[in-house]
Amino acid sequence: MKYLLDSHTHTIASGHAYCTVLEMARAAADRGLELLCITDHAPAMEGTTCRDYFANLGVIDRELFGVQIRMGVELNLLDTEGTVDLDEPLLRRTDMAIVSLHTKCIPTGGTAEGYTNGLLQAMKNPYVNIIGHPDDGRYPLDYPTLVRAAADAGVLLEVNNSSLTPGGFRVNGPLHCAEMLRECKKQGVPVVVGSDAHFVSYVGNHQYADALFQELNFPEELVMNRDSAAFLAFLKARRAR
Ligand SMILES: [Zn+2]
Ligand SMILES: [Zn+2]
């Protein structure tokens, strides 16, 4: 399967990533991607960019080096009630939004019921398009419930290639991701692969996700990266609700 889009990448704006929008777009073009989503961390992440960065996203060309560009955000889930760290006027300026759990922004040690409820509530936010790395053992999740809710809401679950990389810092990423994928396969629910690149060399790196799909015999038609037009339609349908 050819992966034509990368749904999750960071630039220097995130504070702990090292390349510019132009450098990331160039790398995407070099790797033959049709579409690149740039999703810098929202303001609750220590060291990331300011609110005005998101307010001004309109100035960026949405095609660079022949690659379609979508300027998004990686929101932080702040509590088990679904609160995120950008409000509606700024979310409206973004093309898409991922919501993720990060240790700097939400405590670990809670229950699967609590974290799952947080994500279910966040899915009610019409600007949320993707649940980022729902695979971290520090944040247990109820996968049958999460997968069903994502399908109902028109939200995509992410297969995060960084979580699957050997030596990755999330806890038991491959184990939890496989559990989620088995449930997606059972329920016929699509996923999207994001590299979560913080440097140009990782843009479009989907190799560990691809290996896991093969191991699980995961249906190709449930992987959104094979069709960027379908992915864009998915984003649009969600925001039109
Ligand atoms: Zn993240
Ligand atoms: Zn990220």
Question: Which one of the ligands is nearest to 40 CA?
Answer: 2
Residue 5: strand pairing partners: 35
Taking the C-alpha atoms of residue 172 and residue 135, their distance in angstroms, rounded to an integer, is 7
> Cα(169) to centroid of ligand 2, in Å?
13
> Cα(14) to centroid of ligand 2, in Å?
9
> Cα(206) to centroid of ligand 2, in Å?
14
Q: Which of 78-82, 94-98, 170-174, 217-221 has the lowest mean pLDDT?
A: 170-174
Neighbours of 50 (CB within 10 A): 10
Q: What is the pLDDT of residues 130-153, one digit of tens each?
A: 999 999 999 999 999 999 999 999
> Cα(196) to centroid of ligand 2, in Å?
5
- Structural domain that includes position 181: 5-240
What CATH number does the domain containing 152 carry?
3.20.20.140
* Domain count along the chain: 1
Question: Which one of the ligands is nearest to 103 CA?
Answer: 1
Torsions phi, psi of 140, nearest 5? Answer: -60, 145
Three-state secondary structure call for residue 53:
helix
Q: What is the DSSP letter of 193?
A: E
Neighbours of 221 (CB within 10 A): 11
pLDDT of residue 241: 61
